[in-house]
Amino acid sequence: MAGAVGVSGELESVRVTRILRDDIVLGRRAPGSRLVERDIAAELNVSRLPVREAIRTLVAEGVVVARPRTWAVVREFTHDDIRNFAEVREAIETLIFVFAAERHDAKGLARLREAYEREVAAARAGDAETARTAAAAFHEIAVDLAGNEMLGELIAVFLTRLRWLFGQHDDLEAMAEEHRVILEAVRARDVEALRRIVPAHLASGHSAAERRLAQTATT
């Protein structure tokens, strides 16, 4: 049942959604790969219903495409998708970090620093998945620090797509260093610096996504 609860107390449909989402965002399930309900159900030891619910959720989040009378597949993004998302992301996330700088408290700043420290430690250890997950957390914590419900709702609409498109950077230590610079600007409440730094940081992720797409097209 989709409403069944696992041993951890988490709804089965929520757990399956989380696992599939992470598989897609972290590149374990490649663009264009099929999501077969019975296979996933057997893999995760659940019924097909929570798998079906998870796939519906991921379709709504924009990272899975439902194909009538055939398998759902992991979405294949285009260069236009990347450009369009990059333009929207720059406007929204720059504002998020500006507000985070203006409105953060000591507890919030400590959360942001902890995410950065997890990221840099994982990057130095060559643990790509942990580094990328911590990098995503860095941006998500900034949303909380911004303290603007409307911005939070806007970013939530395409958060999973953003994580997939821009979260698979290869130079982990360079990305962590960019987050250190942003962290220090937030700490100093240096809004003008953030208006320069954040767009440049996001452009790095945009370039990495374009390179990855080009590499996929040639394989």
Q: How far apart are CA 182 and CA 56, in angstroms?
A: 36
Q: What is the dihedral of CA 141, 144, 146, 148, to 10 degrees?
A: 150
Q: Is residue 217's pLDDT more than 70?
A: no
Nearest Cα to Cα of residue 57 among 17, 4, 15, 2? 17
Give burial (CB, 10 Å; 0-12/13-18/19+) of 89. Answer: buried
Model pLDDT for residues 37-68, shown as the tens digit of each residue: 999 999 999 999 999 999 999 999 989 999 87
Pairing of strands 64-65, 34-35: unpaired
Nearest Cα to Cα of residue 213 among 86, 69, 23, 41? 86
More confident residue, 20 or 212: 20
**How does residue 186 score in pLDDT terms, banded at 50, 70 and 90?**
very high
Average pLDDT value over all residues in the chain: 89
**How does residue 166 score in pLDDT terms, banded at 50, 70 and 90?**
low
Residue 140: the pLDDT is 93
Q: Which of the residue ranges 55-64, 80-89, 135-144, 176-185 would you say has the lowest mean pLDDT? A: 80-89
Q: Is residue 112's pLDDT more than 60?
A: yes
- pTM, rounded to two decimals: 0.80
Any idea how long the chain is?
Answer: 219
**How does residue 1 score in pLDDT terms, banded at 50, 70 and 90?**
very low
